[in-house]
Amino acid sequence: MKREAPIELTPEEFRALGHRLVDDIAAFLGSLPGRKVTSGDQPSRIRSLLGTSSLPASGERPALLLAETQRLLFGHSLFNSHPKFFGYITAPAAPIGILGDLLASAANPNTGSFVLSPAATEIEAQTIRWIAELIGYPAECGGILVSGGNMANFICFLAARRAKTPWDIRTKGIGGDPRALRFYCSAEAHTWVQKAADLFGLGTDAIRWVPTDAGLRLDPAHLAAMIEEDRKNGHLPFMAVGTAGTVGTGAIDPLADIARICRDHDLWFHVDGAYGAPAAALPEAPPALRALGEADSIAVDPHKWLYAPLEVGCALVRRKDDLKSAFSYQPGYFRFQGDPGDEPTNFFELGMQNSRGFRALKVWLALRHVGREGYIRMIGDDIALARHLFACVKNEPELEAGTLGLSIATFRYVPAALPAEGAEAYLNTLNSTLCDELQRGGDAFVSNALLGGRFFLRACIVNFRTTEEDCEALPRIIVELGRKVDRRLRPH
Ligand SMILES: *Cc1c(COP(=O)(O)O)cnc(C)c1O
C-alpha cells in the first residue's frame, strides 16, 4: 500500500514552492537598501499578528503558508543584512550561505559521527583547518563548529579546565582538590566568562578581573602579580583569557605578553577572537592580533566577520587531543571505529552535542566563493569604513568622538548648549533616549557602549553591504534626531 504522509511534498510541489520562495528571497535582498532597518514593532504588535488561536488541528496549504510567513518576516524583522545596520557585531548573511543552508538541510547529514555524515564530516574538518589557516593558527590544530562565540568559548574553557587540573576532574569534579580554580581576564571580556564560571561549577568568584590600561586593554603588568598572589593563597590558577577585539570598543589585549606570562606560569592561554580573529588575515593586521597564533585555544565566530548566516561559531585548540580528553565518552551503542590508518573523525566526541547539523557547509561555501583574498578585501573595507565614519564624526561639531578599534567607532551627541549643572548626567539621558529612538525608528541602527560611565553610541561595521554613503549619512541622521530629542527633553 502506498503511504500518504501529510508532511510529504512531491518533487513537483517542492519545485514550485521552492522556485517561488527563491524568487521572493532574491527580491527581498534587492529591496533591502530601500527598506527601514527594523519595523521597530513592540511585542504586543507581533503577538496580535500571530493571533491567539491554539495549535492548528489540521494542516494548511504550503503555498499560502509560505507567502504569509514571508509577509510576517520581511515586514516585521530587524535586518542585520541592511547596509545601515551598525548595531551589534552581527553580520549580513552571505548569499551563498543562505543557499548553503538550504542544501545542508536537503542532505541533512548528522555530523555527530563520520558514518552518518561522510562528506559533511570531512567538509567540517576542512572548514576548521581553513579558518585556522586564515587567521594564522596551525592548521593541524583540533577544532569543532558550534552555535556561536559563547559556545566556542565554553568548549575552549572546558578543554583548558581538563588539561590544567592535575586530578581527574571528569570523575571527581571541581571538588576533587582543595584548591579553588582561578582564571584571568579584563572587565572588557564578554559575559561568556561569567556564564562559564557559573555553569561549569567554579562560581563567578573564580574570575580574577585584571585592570585595563587607558585603551581598555588588559594590563599585563598586573596579570603575573595576580597569578602569584592567588598561588600564595592556595588557589589554582589555570587559564588567562585575552580578547582579540573586545565587544565594547574593539580593543585588542596584548596577546604576546599574555602568552609569555601563561608560558612562565604554566597557564592555558585562551584567545576570545569571536569578533576580531579574522582581521589577523590582513597584511596590515595589528601586531598584537598576530600573536593569537600562540594561543592554546581560540574562539572564532564565522557568523560575525566571516559573514556566515546564523548560527555558527568555531572552537580551535592547539593540541587535537585536548578536545577528546575533555569530552569523549564512547557509549556501547555507538560503533564508530574505522580502519587502522584511516580513522574517522566523530564530532560527538569532541564537544557537547550528540546529533549535530551541517553548520560547516555555509562557511565552507563562503570560504570557497571568495577565498582568502575576498575576506581580506571585505574585512579591510569594513575597517576602512569605520575609520571614515570616525573622521565624519570628528567633522561634526555636535558629535563627540569616543573610541575607534578594529571596525567599531563610538561617539555621542553633544548639543551646542549644555545645561550649566549636571551636564554629564544630562548627556547620558539624552544619548540613551536618542539610541532608543534611533533603534525603533529604523533609519539606521546603532547600539551603545559605556565608557567610564558615559553613554556613547556604538557603530560596528561587520557588514559587506555598508558603503561610504551609509557612513556619511549616519552622523547626519544622529545629529538631526539628537536636536529633536534635546528640544523635547529641554524645552528652551
Ligand atoms: C559576539 C562575541 C561573543 C559571543 O558570541 P555569540 O556568537 O554571540 O555567542 C563572545 N566574545 C566576543 C568578543 C564577542 O564579540
Q: What is the pLDDT of residue 330?
A: 80
User: What's the predicted TM-score (pTM) here?
Assistant: 0.96
- Which residues, at least 6 apart from 258, have a Cβ–Cβ distance to it below 8 Å? 218, 220, 223, 240, 242, 269
pLDDT digits (tens, 9 = 90+) for 114-152: 999 999 999 999 999 999 999 999 999 999 999 999 999
Q: For ligand 1, is residue 243 a contact (CB within 6 Å)? A: yes
**Ligand 1 mean position, distance from CA 98 (Å):** 21
User: Closest Cα to atom 10, ligand 1: which residue?
Assistant: 149
Average pLDDT, the chain: 96
Q: For ligand 1, is residue 190 a contact (CB within 6 Å)? A: yes
pLDDT digits (tens, 9 = 90+) for 246-303: 999 999 999 999 999 999 999 999 999 999 999 999 999 988 999 999 999 999 999 9
Least confident residue range of 158-167, 183-192, 327-336, 481-490: 327-336
Helix (H, G, I), strand (E, B) or coil at 418: coil
Q: For ligand 1, is residue 275 a contact (CB within 6 Å)? A: yes
Report which of 68, 61, 85 is spatially closest to residue 466, judged by C-alpha positions.
85
Q: Which atom of ligand 1 is nearest to the CA of 246?
A: 13
Q: For ligand 1, is residue 313 a contact (CB within 6 Å)? A: yes
Q: Is the distance from CB of 243 to CB of 252 less than 8 angstroms?
A: yes
**Ligand 1 mean position, distance from CA 302 (Å):** 11
Report residue 100 as a C-alpha cell.
548553503
Of the two residues 336 and 68, the one the predictor is more confident about is 68
Return the percentage of the chain with pLDDT > 90, whole number: 94
> Can you list the positions of beta strands (E) in 168-327?
181-186, 207-210, 236-243, 268-273, 297-300, 313-317
> Can you list the positions of beta strands (E) in 217-309?
236-243, 268-273, 297-300
**Ligand 1 mean position, distance from CA 193 (Å):** 11
User: Closest Cα to atom 12, ligand 1: which residue?
Assistant: 274
Q: What is the CA radius of gyration of the chain?
A: 25
> Please, what is the angle between helix 149-164 and helix 192-199, to 10°?
50
Return the H-helix or E-strand segment holding 459: strand 454-460
Per-residue confidence at 113, pLDDT binned at 50, 70, 90? very high
Q: For ligand 1, is residue 272 a contact (CB within 6 Å)? A: yes
